[in-house]
Amino acid sequence: MHAFDYLEPVTVAEACAMLADHGPRARPLAGGTDLLIQMEMGKVRPEAVVHLGRIEALRGIEWDPQAGLRISAGVTLREVETHPIIRERYPALATAAQVVGSVQIRNLGTLVGNLCNASPSADTSPALLALDGQVEIASPTESFTIPVAEFWTGPGQMVLQPGQLVTGVRLPVPTPSLRTWYYKLAVRKAMDLAMVGVCVALEPRNGSARRVRIALGAVAPTCLRARHAEQLAEQGEITNGCLEAIAEAAVAATSPISDQRASADYRRAMVGSLTRRAFTQLLR
Amino acid sequence: MAEFAVIGKPVPRVDAVDKVTGAARYAADVNLPGQLWAGFVHSPHPHARIKRIDTSKAECIPGVVKILTQDALGAGATQETIDTVHGMRLSQSLFAVEVVRYQGEKIAAVCAISPEICKDAVEAIEVEYERLPAVDEVEQAIRPEAPVIREDAKEVEAPTGCPWANLGMFRNVCQEAHFSAGDVEAGFAEADVIVEGIYRIPRVHQTYIEPHACVARVDPSGKVTVWTSTQSIFAIRSGVASSLGIPQSNINVVGQTIGGGFGGKFGVLVHPYAVLLAQVTGRPVKIVYSREEEMLDGRPAPGAVIWVKTGIKRDGTVTARQAVGLWDCGHVPGASIYATGRIVGVYNFKNIKYDAYGIYTNKPGTSAYRAPGAPQGSYASEANLNQCAAAIGMDPIALRLQNMAQDGDQRVIDRKPLSRVAFKETLLAAAKQAGWFEREKKPNHGWGVAIGEWHHGAGPGSAVVTLMDDGTLKVFSGAMDITGTDTGMGQIAAEVVGVPWENVRVIRGDTDSAPYATGSGGSVVLFSMGNAVKRAAENLREKMLALAAQHLETTVDSLEAVRAADESGRVIPRVQRRGQPEESVTLQELAQIALRTTGGPLVGTGTFASEPSHPLISAQIVEVEVDPETGVMEIKRLVGALDVGRAINPYEVEGQMQGGATQGLSWGWMEEMQFGQGRMLNTHLSDYRIPTIQDLPAIESVYLEVPSEHGPFGVKGIGEPPIVPTPAALHLAIHDATGAWVNDLPATPERIWRALHRNRDEGKG
Ligand SMILES: Cc1cc2nc3c(=O)[nH]c(=O)nc-3n(C[C@H](O)[C@H](O)[C@H](O)COP(=O)(O)OP(=O)(O)OC[C@H]3O[C@@H](n4cnc5c(N)ncnc54)[C@H](O)[C@@H]3O)c2cc1C
């Protein structure tokens, strides 16, 4: 690994200032389960690595029955996966966190790190999309939130500017009837990256569905929502024919590549199958 | 086995505590004062002409001590990798000369004061290439338009009747093997049904957990010492000697604890470079391969494409079998292509013909991997046999039993009569344990069965067993323990001499101190070294008894060794006059007496050269559940049966059966070195998949004991067979679950989905 400056801020403001100082050649470090590997492989060569582990303000999961859930940037996937509120109210997120890597990886890796690595196959990203997540961003001068759906711009790329840091993720309070489902299509049961990830959230109502979200992973340059398919699904009773159309629309939203993990054909077919399966499960 | 006190007992492994606590010292844990680190420039291209190598920038980096290229060496410097156990040999120049023939081929070596500086220097070396067309698939390499990969490649006539016959000639052939018995054409004419298929088996890496590592030091006198992870310290010694022209007697090799080898750590790979750099720099040099280097420049198992054709009658009589195997050797010969002959298997098939070819491709050379060649050849053979059973509507176990050889039958391949084989019994034992004949058909569930035969080797070696002055035993040899053999050898010595297993220490020497020992592979160790230890222990026992007879003033014949416990429950091994405990001497007393007696401490020696072994089979039954929409498969159950001759230690036997089956599952299900235009696509373990513990079922192992005449206490060599049958058992289970045959390995979810898709499109599903 190349030589770099290792910085340990204790406040968010300090971290932002350090990141601003080094501009695009600085990288925040959370659990390091992506960053260190990319550095070791020479894929990224930051001049400065800004470790976030000492920032007290970036710890913890907050739940407010009115405002919803806030997961700070320092929260590990293991904390997400085992948190009672998340398991009860956001089960798709708990499932998604639980299928990342292995326990060891999840004890180190963070939810926000998964988001900020901006990999299209990130397991928790479809869940954050389907749950209408918001990303909290701090910079030396301001802090603001944007929808998760607007966060990524391409594989490994996001809207963050030099000096900006993600401080956490917010999820709105789920309605009592909201049901969610996440399926990771992989060869192994652990330590594997998704060939396809499908997360569906909806409120079932007598064979039809409201507030439908269909979020897809590993089938386009970023995780994305199949918005046309969502609209189709909200139009009335979901018959078999209708389910077919929804699945087709979900497939149409994708632009997968063929790589060592899976072919584009297979990925497309699986988006269709898994979307059908999601609706069948959630409407049952 | 009531007749034994220590043999057959599941005693814990002697190396377990050190490994579990992290105390074991692997090669990468060795650090010497003043040590340098070496690394390599590997070719990024699979096939290219080297136009220019510029090391000037790298040389200027502070901390860089030495850079070597082939220019600095002169032409003759080649690396000889010899696997004495499997009779495999690879020869390759130390660095690429003018042309690189695989991605990963070494172009230069750098030596620096830290691994970081070394890496920077490697990156600073500029190499200009002129790219040449590359071939990564054997079916492409044999075609007339394929680039010729090496000047010595032969062009041979394509065998008739096979799917590639229309090519007329095969290009890029580097090895050939042919065999025929009986008359296949007449056999096919007699058949009711002909079943043929092409079976593609990918190249896989041995994926030992510990990449290659070594440290070399050269003393001012020129004496070389190498600390390394290897299956054979003696093969490293001869490999370094022949690669660099150093007399063997000037080299000492110290074997560290090994983190797996599976056949991939026999000969030299990084060792001559460390020695060479230590010679030129005068400082110790350390090399530790990364996983990526293992994948790009290791010596994996060859892939193969095998066509098999079988003629069979409706009553289950196999009338003829023919095969053509195309083995992916990479850029040098060396693949075990004769394993195409597995179409004979352990069956009484009369009409057989096979033609096997080693084919050059732009990939690294290959080496052994657990039963080299057998998983590939047996997969094609057994998968095809299962398809035969399906074609005539016969139970696949019944079909095998009907055709299987037994004691007294002559083997088709060499006409040798079989003895002490238990093929049918082994298969039936698996069937019984699994409940094969009572199985129920559940939706999306499938069962599969296959067998894998292996004829283990034997290798020379000797061992020394010493009665220590406290009455305990020391077993000393030069054998590397890759599978728990230290524990087994300790048990053998304890049994023979008559001491509890806790009273034996097994010590490994280096090549300077230990007598020669065969390499640890080919399932030879417990058979061969076990015999050497047994004989050494017997030799010691004779000397002990003679001394005891003298001491107790009686004859040797009237003595017996006893290991009865005293009042406190402590076992005090001793020798006594038969049935007369009051006239006895403890081993500790004997050891002390020996120290005061002419002849001195009691030392037994034993040797073993070569003795015939017996073929045996591993039979396996697997049950799977397949999600027909996604192709995702779950292994519900795996039952394995094996004839082990004698289980010295049931834990170790089960460990071998589980480990082999796991590797077989992996090869059949998810493991594959993927290539595109000569480049490997999955050089990291994230995408080079092997199963995690969560993916595995509890593996049920049953073993039979039909003792071999020559193994110690009847031992047969059993380390390799359990990997052999698994892929073919899986192939049938997938078919049973889905109706689709997935002939190309590994049967990933996508491949299963594709096969189902094809079936549906054709209206079969
Ligand atoms: C063996 C293994 C298995 C894995 N398996 C999976 C898997 O199954 N599924 C999966 O989705 N992932 C997997 N991963 C990837 C990784 O573990 C996850 O993406 C993890 O969530 C990353 O979190 P981290 O805290 O380690 O991030 P880091 O590596 O610390 O950071 C990741 C990226 O985000 C940036 N970053 C981190 N925090 C912030 C912040 N607050 N603001 C702005 N940028 C930030 C970093 O600069 C870096 O670019 C695996 C990794 C390994 C090594």
| Span B3-23, pLDDT tens digits | 899 999 999 999 999 999 999
Q: Is B114 on the interface with A (CB under 8 A)?
A: no
Contact A188 B116 (CB under 8 A): no
Q: Are B617 and B425 in contact, with CB atoms under 8 Å apart? A: no
Assess contact for B602 and B547: CB atoms under 8 A. yes
Q: Are B141 and B170 in contact (CB under 8 A)?
A: no
Q: What is the pTM of this model?
A: 0.96
Alpha carbon B703 to its chain centroid, in Å, reads 20
Nearest-angstrom CA–CA distance, B718 and B487: 15
Amino acid B614: pLDDT: 85
> Cβ neighbours of residue B743 under 8 Å, at least 6 residues apart?
B197, B198, B199, B200, B383, B731
In one-letter notation, the amino acid at residue B714 is: G
Q: Which residues pair with B199 in a beta bridge?
A: B306
C-beta of residue B614 within 8 angstroms of C-beta of residue B718: no
Residue-wise pLDDT for B426-456, tens only, equals 999 999 999 999 999 999 999 999 999 998 8
Nearest CA distance, B682 vs chain A (angstrom): 7
d(CA B213, CA B28): 6
Atom nearest to A77 CA in ligand 1? 21
Cβ–Cβ under 8 Å, residues B361 and B327: no
pLDDT at B175 over 50: yes
Residue B146 forms part of a structural domain? no
Q: Of the candidates A185, A189, A261, which has its C-beta nearest B687's C-beta?
A: A261
How far is the C-alpha of B60 from the C-alpha of B272, rounded, in Å?
25
Domains with residue ranges and CATH for chain A: 5-49 (3.30.43), 58-171 (3.30.465.10), 179-282 (3.30.390.50)
Same domain, B314 and B345: yes
Claim to verify: residue B618 and residue B665 sit in the same structural domain: yes
Confidence band for B760, pLDDT divided at 50, 70 and 90: low
Inter-chain CB proximity A269 and B682 less than 8 Å: no
Residue that is written with structure tokens 């069956």 in the block? B347
Interchain CB distance below 8 Å, B670 and A102: no
**For residue B597, is pLDDT > 90?**
no
What confidence score (pLDDT) does residue B762 get? 57
Which two three-digit tokens encode residue B574? Answer: 């001793």
**The predicted structure's pLDDT at residue B2:** 52
Smallest Cβ–Cβ distance between B682 and the set A3, A188, A260 belongs to A260
CB contact under 8 Å between A1 and B630, yes or no, is no
Is residue B764's pLDDT more than 50? no
Chain A nearest-CA residue for B694:
A189
With b meaning 16 or more CB within 10 Å and e meaning fewer, what string describes B718-734?
bbbbbbbbbbbbbbbbb
Distance from CA of A184 to the nearest CA of B (A): 11
B140 inside domain = no
Tokens matching residue B20: 């579990």
Question: For B576-588, what is the mean pLDDT?
Answer: 93
B321, B340: one domain: yes
Q: Identify from A117, A266, A267, A273 which residue to disrupt to test chain B contact, counting B C-beta atoms within 10 A and taking the largest count.
A: A266
Average pLDDT over residues B722-740: 98
Identify residue B431 by its one-letter amino acid code: A
B79 near B152, Cβ under 8 Å? no
Structure tokens at B691: 């199963």
Q: Which of B303-307, B457-461, B557-561 has the highest mean pLDDT?
A: B303-307
B603-608 and A165-171: which strand pairing? unpaired
State pLDDT tens for residues B479-509. Answer: 999 999 999 999 999 999 999 999 999 999 9
Asked whether residue B526 is domain-assigned, the answer is yes
Please state, in angstroms and rounded to a whole number, the distance separating the CA atoms of residues A203 and A208: 9
pLDDT at B85: 73
Closest-approach residue (CA) in chain A for B681: A260
Do B399 and B528 lie in one domain? The reply is no
Q: Are residues B756 and B642 located together in one domain of the fold?
A: yes
Q: Which of B591, B608, B625 is the last residue of a domain?
A: B608
For residue A192, give the ligand 1 atom closest to its CA: 8
Compute the distance between CA of residue B355 and CA of residue B267 in angstroms, rounded to an integer. 29
CA distance B677 to B362: 9
Rounded Cα distance between B678 and B736, Å, is 36
Nearest CA to ligand 1 atom 21: A114
* Confidence at residue B598, expressed as pLDDT on a 0 to 100 scale: 82
pLDDT 10s digits, A23-61: 999 999 999 999 999 999 889 999 999 999 999 999 999
Q: How far is CA B324 from CA B22, B164, B167, B355, B356, in A?
A: 48, 9, 14, 5, 6
Q: What is the CATH number of the domain that holds B55?
A: 3.90.1170.50
Q: Could you tell me how far CA B742 lies from the centroid of its own chain?
A: 26
Q: Give the model's pLDDT for residue B1.
A: 40
Helices and strands, number each (H, E), in chain B: 17, 31
Q: What residues of A are in contact with residue B682 (Cβ under 8 Å)?
A: 260
The domain that holds B663 is classified in CATH as: 3.30.365.10
**Preceding peptide of B746 cis, ω within 30°:** yes
* Residue B594 located in a structural domain: yes
Instruction: Give the integer Cα–Cα distance in Å for B567 and A49.
Output: 67
pLDDT single digits (tens) B218-252: 999 999 999 999 999 999 999 999 999 999 999 99
Residues B238 and B97 in one domain: yes
| Start-to-end C-alpha separation, chain B | 52
CB contact at 8 A, B618 and B422: no
Of B550, B585, B608, which residue is a domain's last?
B608
Assess if residue B428 is contained within a domain.
yes
Please give the C-alpha separations between residue B331 and each of A1, B92, B177, B328, in angstroms, as whole numbers. Answer: 32, 9, 18, 9
Same domain for B341 and B377, yes or no, is yes
Provide the shortest C-alpha distance from residue B673 to chain A (in Å). Answer: 10
pLDDT greater than 50 at residue B765:
no
Judged on CB neighbours under 10 Å (0-12, 13-18, 19+), A266 is buried
Question: Is B684 a member of any domain?
Answer: yes
Residue B406 covered by a domain: yes
pLDDT at A88: 96
From the CA of B686, how many Å to the nearest CA of chain A?
6
Q: CA-CA distance, B534 to B459, in Å (whole number)?
A: 15
Contact assignment for B694 to A260 by CB distance below 8 Å: no
What domain count does chain B have? 3
| Spatial separation of the C-alpha atoms in residues B123 and B496, rounded to whole Å | 58
The continuous run of DSSP H or E covering A182 comes out as: strand A179-185
**Pair B104, B240 in one domain:** yes
The sheet that has B559-562: what strands, in order across it?
B559-562, B574-577, B580-586
Of A105-119, B524-538, B566-580, minimum mean pLDDT range: B566-580
Percent of chain A, pLDDT > 90?
97
Instruction: Assess contact for A161 and A184: CB atoms under 8 A.
Output: no
- Residue closest to B735 by CA, chosen among B749, B755, B750: B755
Question: What are the CA-CA distances from residue A7 to residues A4, A16, A52, B75, B178 (Å)?
Answer: 10, 12, 9, 50, 66
pLDDT tens-digit profile of B112-142? 999 999 999 999 999 999 999 999 999 999 9
Residues of B in contact with A262 (CB under 8 A): 750
Which chain A residue has the Cα nearest residue B123? A42
Asked whether residue B178 is domain-assigned, the answer is: no
Do the beta carbons of residue B678 and residue B103 sit within 8 Å? yes
Pick among B37, B207, B630, B693 to test the A interface (most A CBs inside 10 A): B630
Please tell me if residue B695 touches chain A, with a CB cutoff of 8 Å. yes
A102 CB neighbours in chain B (<8 A) are 692
Sheet architecture: strand order including B445-455 = B445-455, B615-626, B633-643, B699-704
Q: What's the pLDDT at B73?
A: 76
Backbone angles phi, psi at B375, to 5 degrees: -60, -40
Q: What is the DSSP annotation of B543-573?
A: HHHHHHHHHHTS-GGGEEEE--B-TTS-B--
Mapped to the 3 state alphabet, what secondary structure does B711-739 carry? CHHHCCCCCCHHHCCHHHHHHHHHHHHHC
B562 and B618 co-located in one domain: no
Q: What pLDDT band is residue B386 in, cutting at 50, 70 and 90?
A: very high
pLDDT category of residue B74 using cuts at 50, 70 and 90: low
* Two tokens, residue B63: 């901390």
Share of chain B above pLDDT 90, in %: 89
Q: Any idea what the Cα angle at residue B355 is, between residues B354 and B360, rounded to 5°?
A: 145
Same domain, B727 and B699: yes
The pLDDT-based confidence of B600 (bands split at 50, 70, 90) is confident
Domain check: are B485 and B448 in the same one?
no
The partner residue sitting opposite A188, judged by closest CB among B119, B120, B689, is B689
Q: Based on the domain organization, do B669 and B584 belong to the same domain?
A: no
Residue at which a domain ends, from B608, B633, B667: B608
* Mean pLDDT, residues B271-289: 97
User: In which domain, by residue range, is B366 found?
Assistant: 304-456+613-761
Query: Rounded mean pLDDT of B363-388?
Result: 97
Asked if residues B294 and B211 have their Cβ atoms less than 8 Å apart, the reply is yes
Residues (pLDDT < 70) of chain A are none
